[in-house]
Chain A
């Protein structure tokens, strides 16, 4: 009897240590300093609300889980039959009191869980009001995000990068691309899901519907997000970032985005629109949406491009202009950034266009050395 108890203790301790190590290893590794896409590190009140709701239930789950796993080890080892032993086992067929209690107790725990859950559901569904609410329409495209600011005096149009002021609630309207035409036609985009874990949970973008999601950040910084509903070939490359700024910085940014740095005509000339028809998809005018692609009037003010896949720098940009499908899978999508390399564009021309954009679409241009003389 004694040795069996000991054996159990040893096994139990080993199991406990193993689980603890595994858990700690997983947690410890996790939050590298660069990760800005972590639901466990909320940076705003909605995501914090969610985490606070999750935490107690997470630990209850861990407790129950460890209880059952421990119980499994216990019954297996404690009642193990030694070789050659023939135990006259007591035949127990059931126990009503036990059955009732392990039905009722979990039900009660769940009932307790339900109350804050439902309260939080309704709280998160409530649209923010007040003078400082920022309204943005988010259009999910294959495979990038289009943002249009809807408040009076703020008609900023941008892509993949959402600037918001710290401490202000942001009300997002999520939608698919405009309905195709002429009818009958069937290309209205696909499902996507807008997700910036450190600011809130996710919400799907459904063609034909307008969905609501709110964000609020309580400290400045950059928070990463990503499309979370499978949307085809480049689903993994449909990323975004939210840049949270102090109100003053935010105001300055809005002003810079509304200003016309370089005229639409000059921009179109600079990118050789006559040959490459860039303006048939892109827009070069502040505050207006392109037909199928991001507004480029302030491109160089952004940190990244191509669905936040590439940091915005000279090398990435000219390669993109030269051969976009080689840099991000486009498959057989009918409308996408073409491979201009196959339309007669030389590398030198791509580099020239990249330099032109870096110089002329930045509020404070700082063209790289490669661009000197281009």
Chain B
């Protein structure tokens, strides 16, 4: 039988009555809600992540106020526990991961010469899930108690049913459901980045010609893809234990609390690299530009990033050195932890070698990048000290650990992020952030950060455990705690300077050319801010730092020689003759991902309050959103219908 039924023309089917007419506007305020443009989505990611950075920072300030003196009474124990839990959760899930998504979204397509990401609407979904997931988590403050089980929510404290009163409120339910929700968004974003990077590079942009930032985002996306499932499983188990009588972590039934720790840290340690690798990528972009030299040992830096990504899966139990794994397991994980220090060190040495012998311009982005190197090294070295397992038994769960990971994540990631803001601001907005305020921003942050966290190393050695809402006087901790609190407020001032700088720049920022830093990567070859379609003509790439080599060459001794102006360099200002932007068919805005994203918190509230009506409503809305999404084409056909296919 070879009966062939020709389907009716697609166009005909498209004419049926729509419940929601597809949004068309790509400008105006409302267009931000339905946009699928990776650059707009990136700006929304960054804005919201910064908002959460401020919220998490305010929580940190309260924590520091409470601990400024012994027997502090500014916060109750319950409130303190909520604040440190939400501080950690916020900084990891609502700042660290989304800010990487912000930079990745803006830069990855530009750096590889693509016009958008592979799945623009999935990208939009990722953002809205993050936004609504964050709101969902924070709504807990008003709806029966915020999460208060710590950012790694160890069972059985978290998994024991509410009735036992181990934790006073509903917070853990919000926390488990909220993190699962954010995880869905992260996986969606990771898949999108992976497909974009693997599939959508411009002609000639081979993997080994990609900017290091793109490489790091690739590794991060793989890590996210494989790290979220174990933690999702662990969180489902906690939720089931709390609410549906299962026994996953119930010792009386044969469940094992260490199972939770294993599942959590199999996610949790790669998560650390998910947070820091984008920072390493940003720094690897800034250093060469401000040294006027190529990245030293490009391939080594790339491979050490990949090595960190791989080894990151074999070190999780170093978070559990005191939980009684036995000497053999502990030794093995101690060794693997030492091993991961090697590629990390290699990166640092290569960065220093990049700057060595360069023509160094100490502009704000460069200052932040250099601050990253110095401070991240301190965090890395205290990390190596944790691999000395017996030392770790003294250091873990004390302020030494707090110092350690803040040197990595604040001294490292946050510094890189601020460097990235100053560096790419002119590309994103076409204006330059004020340099003097930038330097003030930097130095205040360096002073505040080190004043806050350096003494904490010693507080840890001297016996102050983390996560304690109070401490008695006479322990010798008073001065250092007060210093840390003062430092925290200096950091806050520094962030305020940045915000003022942003407002100032928005009002009367200096407009700059498309390439104010004399950049090396493709994003600098196009106008600032970039047009919706990014590249008028898809670039053909011939090497690493392709754009740089359109501007400069090397003489026989390897010295920099400027090529005569004109030619390729000016293409940004002058689009090719006869170029019509409408000839580039970009994806259309959409409602459906937003509808699906709205369904998730509705389902979430259904789970938290065991309201099956709400849950069912969420499922229906989700189905409605997905179905609409599936039927809707990525890009509307051209009105003229001139498309060849």
A residues bordering B, Cβ < 8 Å? 22, 26-27, 29-32, 34-35, 37-40, 47, 49-50, 53-54, 57-58, 61, 64-65, 68-69, 71-73, 75-76, 79-81, 85-95, 98-99, 102-103, 106-107, 110, 113-114, 117-118, 120-122, 124-125, 142, 176, 179-181, 183-191, 193, 195, 197, 200-204, 206-209, 211-212, 224, 226-237, 329, 331-334
B434 interfacial contact with A, CB 8 Å? no
**Chain A residues near B361 (CB, 8 Å)?**
80-81
B339 in contact with A193 (CB, 8 Å)? no
B157 interfacial contact with A, CB 8 Å? yes
Interface-central residue, B157, B299, B387, by most chain A CB under 10 Å: B157
Beyond A29-B479, A89-B358, A120-B389, list 4 extra A-B contacts (CB 8 Å): A121-B390, A186-B250, A186-B252, A193-B397
The 10 closest A-B pairs by CB, nearest first: A201-B393, A208-B251, A37-B463, A332-B165, A236-B468, A32-B476, A35-B476, A207-B251, A179-B252, A329-B77
B454 in contact with A22 (CB, 8 Å)? yes
Write out, one digit per residue, whether chain B residues 323-343 have a CB within 8 A of any chain A CB (1) or not (0): 110110011001100110110
CB-CB contacts below 8 Å: B274-300 with A: 291-294, 296-300
CB distance from A216 to the nearest CB of B (A): 15
Interface-central residue, B165, B455, B479, by most chain A CB under 10 Å: B165
B358 in contact with A334 (CB, 8 Å)? no
A-B CB contact pairs (8 Å), 24 listed: A26-B454, A30-B458, A32-B474, A35-B477, A37-B475, A38-B462, A38-B463, A50-B390, A61-B385, A69-B374, A75-B355, A76-B370, A79-B291, A81-B292, A90-B357, A103-B346, A121-B327, A188-B156, A207-B156, A207-B251, A224-B475, A230-B397, A235-B81, A329-B78
**Chain B residues near A39 (CB, 8 Å)?**
394-395, 461-463
Q: How far is the CA of A86 from the CA of B552 in the complex (A)?
A: 13
B353 interfacial contact with A, CB 8 Å? yes
Which bucket holds chain B's interface residue count?
A: 35 or more
CB distance from B626 to the nearest CB of A (A): 36
B253 in contact with A183 (CB, 8 Å)? yes
B463 in contact with A54 (CB, 8 Å)? no
Known A98-B353, A188-B250; judge A331-B370 contact (CB<8 A). Answer: no
**Chain A residues near B330 (CB, 8 Å)?**
121
Question: A212's closest neighbor in chain B, by CB?
Answer: B324
B468 in contact with A95 (CB, 8 Å)? no
CB distance from A32 to the nearest CB of B (A): 4
Q: How far is the CA of A180 from the CA of B326 in the complex (A)?
A: 27
Interface-central residue, B166, B255, B559, by most chain A CB under 10 Å: B166
A76 in contact with B346 (CB, 8 Å)? no
B559 in contact with A91 (CB, 8 Å)? yes
CB-CB contacts below 8 Å: B435-476 with A: 450, 454-455, 457-458, 461-463, 465-471, 474-476
B629 interfacial contact with A, CB 8 Å? no
Q: How far is the CA of A156 from the CA of B286 in the complex (A)?
A: 65
CB distance from B243 to the nearest CB of A (A): 11
B579 interfacial contact with A, CB 8 Å? no
A231 in contact with B157 (CB, 8 Å)? yes
B359 interfacial contact with A, CB 8 Å? yes
B362 interfacial contact with A, CB 8 Å? yes
Which of the residues A27, A69, A201, A227 comes within 8 Å of B465, measured between beta carbons? A227
Known A50-B394, A208-B255; judge A113-B241 contact (CB<8 A). Answer: no
A124 in contact with B353 (CB, 8 Å)? no
Which of the residues B252, B345, B392 comes within 8 Å of A180, measured between beta carbons? B252
**Chain B residues near A235 (CB, 8 Å)?**
81, 467-469
B389 in contact with A117 (CB, 8 Å)? yes
Known A89-B359, A331-B168; judge A124-B252 contact (CB<8 A). Answer: no
A110 in contact with B397 (CB, 8 Å)? no
Known A121-B331, A193-B322; judge A31-B359 contact (CB<8 A). Answer: no
A89 in contact with B292 (CB, 8 Å)? yes
**Chain A residues near B338 (CB, 8 Å)?**
110, 113-114
**Chain B residues near A180 (CB, 8 Å)?**
252
B391 in contact with A54 (CB, 8 Å)? yes
**Chain B residues near A234 (CB, 8 Å)?**
77
B480 interfacial contact with A, CB 8 Å? yes
B247 interfacial contact with A, CB 8 Å? yes
A91 in contact with B257 (CB, 8 Å)? no
**Chain B residues near A98 (CB, 8 Å)?**
297, 349, 353
Q: How far is the CA of A54 from the CA of B251 in the complex (A)?
A: 35
A332 in contact with B327 (CB, 8 Å)? no
B360 interfacial contact with A, CB 8 Å? yes
Q: How far is the CA of A110 from the CA of B388 in the complex (A)?
A: 10
A75 in contact with B322 (CB, 8 Å)? no
B298 in contact with A92 (CB, 8 Å)? no
Q: How far is the CA of A98 from the CA of B391 in the complex (A)?
A: 31
Known A107-B342, A211-B324; judge A99-B156 contact (CB<8 A). Answer: no
B341 in contact with A68 (CB, 8 Å)? no
A188 in contact with B296 (CB, 8 Å)? no
**Chain A residues near B36 (CB, 8 Å)?**
none
**Chain A residues near B381 (CB, 8 Å)?**
61, 64-65
A184 in contact with B247 (CB, 8 Å)? yes
Which of the residues B359, B370, B384, B466 comes within 8 Å of A87, measured between beta carbons? B359
Known A76-B360, A113-B388; judge A22-B558 contact (CB<8 A). Answer: no
Question: A81's closest neighbor in chain B, by CB?
Answer: B359
B26 interfacial contact with A, CB 8 Å? no
Interface-central residue, B81, B339, B381, B465, by most chain A CB under 10 Å: B465
A195 in contact with B465 (CB, 8 Å)? yes
A207 in contact with B257 (CB, 8 Å)? yes
Q: How far is the CA of A231 from the CA of B155 in the complex (A)?
A: 10
A332 in contact with B355 (CB, 8 Å)? no
Q: How far is the CA of A29 from the CA of B461 in the complex (A)?
A: 13
Which of the residues B250, B387, B393, B457 comes within 8 Å of A26, measured between beta carbons? B457
